[in-house]
Amino acid sequence: MENKIKTRIEELRAVIEEKAKQYYVYDAPSISDYEYDALMNELKKLEAEHPEFADENSPTQRIGGTILDGFTPVTHDVRMESLQDAFSEEEIMDFDTRVRSALEGQSVQYVVEHKIDGLSVSLEYANGRFVRGSTRGDGDVGEDVTANLKTVRSIPLILNHAPEFLEVRGEVYIAREDFEQINAVRESMEQSLFANPRNMAAGSLRQLDSKVAAERRLNIFVFNIQQMTGTMPVTHSEGLALLRSMGFRTVADTGVFDSIEDAFAEVLRIGEERGNLPYEIDGAVIKVNDLAEREKLGSTSKYPRWAVAYKFPPEQKESVIRDIYVQVGRTGTLTPNALIEPVRLAGSTVSRATLHNIDNIREKDIRIGDHVIVQKAGDIIPEIVRAVIEKRNGTEREFFMPETCPECGAKVVRLEGEAATKCTGANCPAQIMRHLIHFCSRDAMDIEGMGPALTEKLLHEGLVKRVSDLYRLQKDEVAALEKMGEKSAENLLAEIESSKQNPLERLITGLGIPFVGVRAAKLLCAAFPNLDSIMQATEEELCAVNEIGEKMAESIRSFFSLEQNRSLIEELRELGLNFNSGKQEAAGTLFAGMTFVLTGTLPTYKRDEAAAIIESLGGKVSSSVSKKTAMVLAGEEAGSKLEKAQSLGIRIIDEAEFKEMIAQGKIL
């Protein structure tokens, strides 16, 4: 029996560690928060019952979180603790018993707050001015994300009536409407979707480019005073009032309660109403209101004894699949979707759910006419959990992928080893719309004004049938479109003309080669001098490029082997688009034997992209400056590395000089 328990404990530790890494380090969760918390709860219980199997490296012995490269570590003066989770009324009552026992039976008041589904951060103010913001990290050490937090408009940069020093804790999140809009755009571009608002908020704050964070429309609720000079408030509710008076948006508190029964009743009420909130919550928090009592209660090694978080399970409803239809994406992928009987779920009416691919349908044995259990993944994305097989009556029908594209009638194929079924039609209207949107997008050719609405108008009027037609548009025909006019037409055509001079990496991104995104396009341009050399490269030559694998190399070769794609590229060449990467043929050893150090924020490159270019040209990248450092590539807000380089007399260059060296193929 003991061996079975030990095996289960070790199994849980391994699973939790892997899921935690996916969630906290890579912002790519593979299970729901509720499932993760249930696993952790089981492990905590087994370890408590069997202390002989204790392990200091168990996931239960730390708060969690890992510092990523590219951010300056911040040691928290006041530990940013996690909360003890509860999943039942019994656990809430046990929490109250522990609190009253520790306080020797004196009366206790509780505050109940929404548990926002976001990312916890610390904000520091000196003389009322915002000076530093950091993530929670592992509770003791986080990451300096000041530049990104400054883009959050609800964070005050200057406070009203502030003390000499103040540190507060808050939760950065994204509103439900904004989250759904951003995911809708990503879905239309066939980009991976964020699983939940917390995932998006975390990913946004961890961008080295603060512009990305600014575009995500992040928001914040502040919920605690960590430390401050002067007299601290007596209660938590008074502290929230003080924070509001200084200009902070405070977490939605729902009052002060004299009994745990009343507090828990409020928690249940919040659970019933959570779908109507403009932001996502995954639970409600019960906190002791009196700060002196909190001090007396203290903390364990993992969480405070004066608070508990009640976690809500994902809401599930039963529905019926009316039909299954297929949607054609930008790259020609056919995605099956279920039309279901409308059902109210997590605050909105759900009438469809993605089925991903035919393998998922077969694995779950989902059929047209089935009663099914539906939930929202991360309380956002509608998904079918399972079919209610016991309710089948024999009228249900199996679904089969079509043999021809529902948009254009062309034959569809499923490549060996691939889950996706794809349309082979070069002029498929579904692909043309999405291809044009992608081609003009910010990450690709960045043609301002060419949004989905205008793209649809141009297609509807027959002015554009493929990407190259954009560069043949005439002022009078564009001006004649609804809501355009002469000035708007002039601006649009100027943007299109200007895009001809874009770096080659943008054109490669815009072509929509499967598996080739922004980073891969930059790596290709760092390795090859022009588009022709990329088109002619063998799979072996492509695989020799850092981070280009066999699957991507095969996709690139396949893309450029198709006549319709080569024809499009020739048209773009004749129209005057830039086909040169700026890399010289002999530049492969340009930085041979040289060690670079990167510091600060570069205008266009991310640090890892610049590092990949340096390495592809024979150089090395180090994290610290020494006498062996050849050059320091510095951007805005460069810190101690820049100062050390200056003191050692090491050459410092900016991105413009870096690009010029690459373009000329020599050290300037």
- Catalytically active residues, by annotation: 115
The amino acid sitting at 497 is: E
Q: How many residues does the chain have?
A: 668
- What single-letter DSSP state applies at residue 231? P
Residue 408 contacts by C-beta under 8 Å, 6 or more apart in sequence?
Answer: 423, 425, 427, 428, 429, 430
Q: Rounded CA gap, 57 and 46, in Å? A: 15
Q: Which stretches of 274-333 are DSSP H helices?
A: 291-297
CA 92 to chain centre: 33
d(CA 293, CA 102): 9
Q: How far apart are CA 440 and CA 455, in angstroms?
A: 10
Report which of 359, 465, 461, 459 is spatially closest to residue 418, judged by C-alpha positions: 359
> Token pair of 481, please?
């479109």
How far apart, in Å, are the Cα atoms of 363 and each of 304, 334, 366, 367, 511? Answer: 44, 18, 8, 11, 34
3-state secondary structure of 490: helix
Residues 469, 587: Cα–Cα separation, whole Å: 35
Give the C-alpha separation, 447 to 443, whole Å: 10
Contacts of 308 (CB under 8 A, 6+ apart): 83, 84, 85, 86, 91, 92, 95, 285, 286
List strand residue ranges (DSSP E) for 155-304, in order: 165-174, 218-228, 253-257, 281-288
Q: Which of 311, 360, 335 is nearest to 32 (CA)?
A: 311
Q: Rounded to 5 degrees, what angle do the CA atoms 19, 380, 152 make? A: 85
Residues near 571 by beta carbon (within 8 Å), at least 6 away in sequence: 468
Assigned token pair, 13: 């530790």
Joined together, the tokens standing for residue 439 give 């081609």
Q: Pick from 195, 119, 604: which is nearest to 378 by CA?
A: 195
Determine the Cα–Cα distance for residues 321 and 50; give it in Å rounded to an integer. 47
Q: Is 223 helix (H, G, I), strand (E, B) or coil?
A: strand
